[in-house]
């Protein structure tokens, strides 16, 4: 599948199958612009964004500079925004981020880089902003502006309510934006209330604009921006008025767009089996009417005439999807013969949160279950928890006369660091290791509670995660090699992967991609096993996507919750709860599994207490 423009959008919207392809496309666009201008001896003026979205783009630009000689010496940049107040050298400043992520690695001239200043005295900010605009004008205006989109629909930090004509100014951040930034600041209370941002009007003056959005969590706001009418409550919608703005998406971010979600409502479609399933399930759920109760009129009233004509009548379509969905119900997920299942858990608790019931079932049915924890999850442990363990170990050692002196030294080092630690400051090696150990012991306790013996657990501690901060390194070739060795050593019949593409920090996505790479390599050598995807703590599969559900009884759910509770450092309050969801992980797991059961019930399928859902990965 290649890229395509989505029809019926109000801003041209180009969708790529993967984030990497989308990113590469934008990088090539920038490359050709710079090369063209360089050969005409003209500067190139770029408007740049920060955040998780452009990270891949900046990596690609660095690669083009290093490997293809892309020359940035005539490039002038203007960044969209900066928190206020914010020292340019602060770990959280967009200034530092831009230098570390891009500028330090290319031959851009320091004097050509412009990033709004977060330390201008409040009284001078207005004048400073006017000067920033003047600098843009003096540079000849922006040739190409890169944008991301926030969950509030903001571009730059133009939160809902910003007018189309707004200029560079100081703004107050929306609570949703502050909550989204909370994890990088290690707590919402540490996120600045204000920022300096280019205005919507400033952005719209760029000659060309590219807005990039990747991941499911962007789906809903992207749909509002490109399908609904222009409105101040979604400032990205103002791009609709620009003559050369393009929205670039990966498939996950495009999934809410009407021509992708309900293509039949915008024209004639090729009714593939999966589209039929999606349409019929959608209809049944929208009407709250079981699959076998759907009537011809129900199809007609929901723009499904064509489907009815080609594959109807209603009772035939209902029966077809009913039978398919009955086929998803699976009481023996690993089969009837003893098998080896390998569960990959990106963080040390995703296994039990997302598929604890299935693990319990497989163990009870006599299968050998291994769990591989891919990252240490050490950045998600609160300092006070780490300190309590240090205190415990010193007390323990004292009690039993074990090496008191050495443990007191460590305690002192930790104490000294913690007493002066600033919010979000990266931990020392000591502390990172202590936090890693806490999560490892919790994972062991959780897995054992689910019935998996400690010797069947693997702590992979993949390299890409070992940054000690939210930002992750790229997947290391050795990470893939480690996965390949694991497959060769354990010879699984089935593997389970967190196939979630909306994880706010990308760790799940990176883990999944690393596994897929490794699977392709071992498959090429002839090693075969089934690959099942489960969802992480953030979302559930869409009902039509589910290919297998494993029923849980009330007892299974209680058992699963006990395993989740063992992850004490994530209990009561998690460092990274993911978005605005205030529920604890066990509550989300229970709500979600019971929600899936409710969907089956509504479809007129057997009534269950709770279901865990899976999708099979076939190597596409």
Sheet of 144-147: strand order equals: 4-5, 13-16, 245-250, 208-213, 144-147, 44-48, 75-79, 113-114
Other beta carbons less than 10 A from residue 538's beta carbon: 20
Shortest distance (Å) from residue 236 CB to ligand F6R: 9
Nearer to ligand F6R (CB atom), residue 81 or residue 349: 81
- List 169's β-bridge partners, or say none: 197
Q: Assess 81 for contact with ligand F6R (CB under 6 A).
A: yes
Nearer to ligand F6R (CB atom), residue 247 or residue 343: 247
Task: Please report the beta strands in 313-366, taking only residues with DSSP state E, as ranges in sequence order.
Answer: 340-345
Q: Assess 578 for contact with ligand F6R (CB under 6 A).
A: no
Other beta carbons less than 10 A from residue 301's beta carbon: 12
Task: Please report the beta strands in 488-581, taking only residues with DSSP state E, as ranges in sequence order.
Answer: 494-498, 530-534, 548-552
Shortest distance (Å) from residue 178 CB to ligand F6R: 11
Nearer to ligand F6R (CB atom), residue 15 or residue 200: 200
Rounded distance between C-alpha atoms, residue 329 and residue 13, angstroms? 38
Nearer to ligand F6R (CB atom), residue 155 or residue 574: 155
For ligand F6R, which stretch binds (CB under 6 A), given 6-14, 152-160, 396-404, 557-565? 152-160
Among residues 47, 51, 116, 613, the one that binds ligand F6R under rule CB under 6 A: 51
Shortest distance (Å) from residue 217 CB to ligand F6R: 8
Q: Assess 196 for contact with ligand F6R (CB under 6 A).
A: no
Among residues 19, 53, 345, 596, the one that binds ligand F6R under rule CB under 6 A: 53
Nearer to ligand F6R (CB atom), residue 440 or residue 500: 500
Q: Assess 245 for contact with ligand F6R (CB under 6 A).
A: no
Shortest distance (Å) from residue 53 CB to ligand F6R: 3
For ligand F6R, which stretch binds (CB under 6 A), given 102-110, 151-159, 262-270, 579-587? 151-159
Question: Which is nearest to 99 in space by CA: 85, 80, 114, 83?
Answer: 114
Shortest distance (Å) from residue 193 CB to ligand F6R: 16
Nearer to ligand F6R (CB atom), residue 158 or residue 596: 158
Shortest distance (Å) from residue 315 CB to ligand F6R: 46
Nearer to ligand F6R (CB atom), residue 148 or residue 263: 148
Site for ligand F6R in 31-50 (CB under 6 A): 49-50
Residue 486: exposure state from Cβ atoms within 10 A (0-12, 13-18, ≥19): buried
Q: Which residues contact 537 (CB under 8 A, 6 or more apart)?
A: 350, 353, 354, 578, 585, 588, 589
Cα distances from 326 to residues 63, 354, 602, 616, in angstroms, run 50, 22, 13, 16
* Closest residue to ligand F6R, based on beta-carbon distance: 148
Q: Assess 80 for contact with ligand F6R (CB under 6 A).
A: yes
Rounded distance between C-alpha atoms, residue 19 and residue 27, angstroms? 12
Pairing, β 208-213 against β 144-147: parallel
Question: Is residue 213 a contact partner of residue 148, using CB atoms and an 8 Å limit?
Answer: yes
Nearer to ligand F6R (CB atom), residue 58 or residue 344: 58
Site for ligand F6R in 154-183 (CB under 6 A): 154-157
# binding residues, ligand F6R (CB under 6 A): 14
Among residues 38, 52, 265, 365, the one that binds ligand F6R under rule CB under 6 A: 52
Helix residue ranges per DSSP H, 382-456: 383-399, 404-420, 429-449
Q: Assess 216 for contact with ligand F6R (CB under 6 A).
A: no
Sheet of 81-84: strand order equals: 81-84, 194-197, 169-172
Question: Is residue 9 a contact partner of residue 256, using CB atoms and an 8 Å limit?
Answer: no
DSSP 214: -
For ligand F6R, which stretch binds (CB under 6 A), given 132-140, 149-157, 560-568, 599-607? 149-157
Helix residue ranges per DSSP H, 218-272: 219-227, 251-254, 258-261
Nearer to ligand F6R (CB atom), residue 49 or residue 254: 49
Shortest distance (Å) from residue 147 CB to ligand F6R: 6
What is the contact mask toward ligand F6R in residues 129 to 148, using x (rule: CB under 6 A)? -------------------x
Q: Is 386 strand, coil or helix?
A: helix
Shortest distance (Å) from residue 229 CB to ligand F6R: 21
Q: Assess 150 for contact with ligand F6R (CB under 6 A).
A: yes
Q: Which residues contact 127 (CB under 8 A, 6 or more apart)?
A: none
Q: Is 383 strand, coil or helix?
A: helix
| Catalytic annotation, pick one of 60, 159, 500, 584 | 159
Q: Which residues contact 61 (CB under 8 A, 6 or more apart)?
A: 27, 30, 31, 70, 102, 106
* 301 belongs to the catalytic site: no
Site for ligand F6R in 488-507 (CB under 6 A): none
Question: Which is nearest to 186 in space by CA: 438, 431, 509, 500?
Answer: 431
Task: List, by residue number, the catalytic residues.
Answer: 159
Give me the residues that bind ligand F6R (CB under 6 A), please: 49-53, 80-81, 148-150, 154-157
């Amino acid at each position: 599948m290649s890229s395509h423009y989505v029809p019926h959008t109000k801003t041209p919207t180009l969708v790529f199958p993967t984030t990497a392809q989308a990113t590469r496309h934008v990088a090539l666009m920038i490359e050709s612009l710079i090369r063209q201008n360089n050969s005409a001896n003209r500067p190139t003026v770029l408007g740049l964004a920060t955040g998780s979205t452009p990270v891949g783009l900046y990596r690609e630009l660095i690669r083009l500079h290093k490997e293809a000689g892309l020359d940035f010496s005539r490039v002038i940049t203007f960044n969209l925004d900066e928190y206020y107040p914010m020292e340019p050298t602060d770990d959280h400043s967009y200034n530092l981020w831009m230098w570390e992520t891009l500028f330090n690695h290319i031959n851009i001239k320091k004097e050509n880089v412009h990033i709004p200043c977060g330390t201008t005295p409040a009284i001078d900010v207005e004048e400073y902003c006017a000067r920033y605009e003047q600098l843009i004008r003096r540079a000849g205006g922006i040739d190409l502006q890169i944008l991301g989109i926030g969950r509030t629909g903001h571009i730059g930090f133009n939160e809902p309510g910003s007018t189309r004509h707004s200029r560079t100014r100081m703004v107050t951040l929306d609570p949703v934006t502050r909550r989204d930034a909370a994890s990088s600041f290690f707590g919402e209370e540490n996120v600045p209330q204000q920022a300096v941002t280019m205005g919507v009007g400033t952005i719209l003056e760029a000659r060309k604009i590219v807005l990039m959005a990747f991941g499911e969590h962007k789906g809903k706001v992207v749909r509002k921006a490109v399908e609904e009418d222009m409105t101040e409550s979604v400032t990205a919608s103002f791009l609709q008025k620009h003559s050369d703005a393009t929205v670039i998406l990966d498939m996950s971010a495009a999934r809410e767009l009407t021509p992708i979600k309900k293509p039949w409502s915008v024209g004639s479609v090729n009714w593939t089996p999966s589209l039929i399933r999606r349409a019929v399930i959608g209809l049944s759920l929208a009407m709250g009417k079981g699959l076998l109760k759907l009537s011809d009129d129900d199809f007609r009233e929901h723009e499904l005439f064509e489907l009815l004509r080609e594959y109807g009548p209603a009772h035939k379509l209902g029966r077809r999807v009913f039978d398919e969905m009955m086929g998803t119900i699976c009481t023996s997920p690993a089969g009837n013969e003893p098998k080896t299942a390998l569960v990959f858990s990106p963080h040390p608790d995703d296994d039990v949160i997302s598929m604890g019931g299935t693990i319990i079932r497989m163990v009870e049915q006599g299968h050998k279950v291994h769990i591989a924890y891919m990252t240490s999850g050490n950045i998600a442990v609160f300092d006070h928890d780490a300190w309590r363990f240090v205190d415990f170990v010193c007390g323990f050692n004292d009690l039993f006369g074990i090496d008191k002196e050495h443990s007191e030294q460590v305690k002192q080092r930790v104490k000294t660091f913690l007493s002066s630690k600033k919010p979000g400051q990266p931990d020392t090696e000591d502390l990172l290791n202590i936090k890693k150990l806490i999560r490892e012991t919790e994972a062991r306790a959780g897995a054992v509670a689910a019935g998996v013996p400690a010797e069947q657990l693997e702590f992979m501690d993949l390299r890409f995660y070992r940054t000690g901060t939210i930002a992750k390194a790229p997947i290391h070739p050795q990470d893939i090699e480690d996965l390949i060795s694991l497959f060769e050593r354990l010879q699984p019949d089935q593997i389970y992967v967190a196939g979630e593409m909306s994880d706010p920090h990308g760790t799940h996505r990176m883990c999944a991609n690393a596994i897929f790479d490794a699977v392709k390599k071992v498959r090429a050598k002839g090693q075969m096993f089934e690959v099942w995807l489960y969802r992480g703590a953030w979302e559930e599969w869409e009902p039509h996507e589910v290919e297998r559900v494993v029923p849980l009884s009330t007892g299974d759910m209680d058992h699963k919750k006990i395993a989740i509770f063992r992850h004490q450092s994530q209990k009561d309050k998690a460092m990274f709860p993911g978005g605005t969801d205030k529920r604890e992980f066990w509550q989300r797991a229970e709500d979600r599994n019971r929600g899936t059961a409710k969907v089956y019930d509504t479809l007129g399928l057997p009534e269950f207490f709770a279901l865990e859902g899976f999708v099979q990965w076939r190597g596409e």
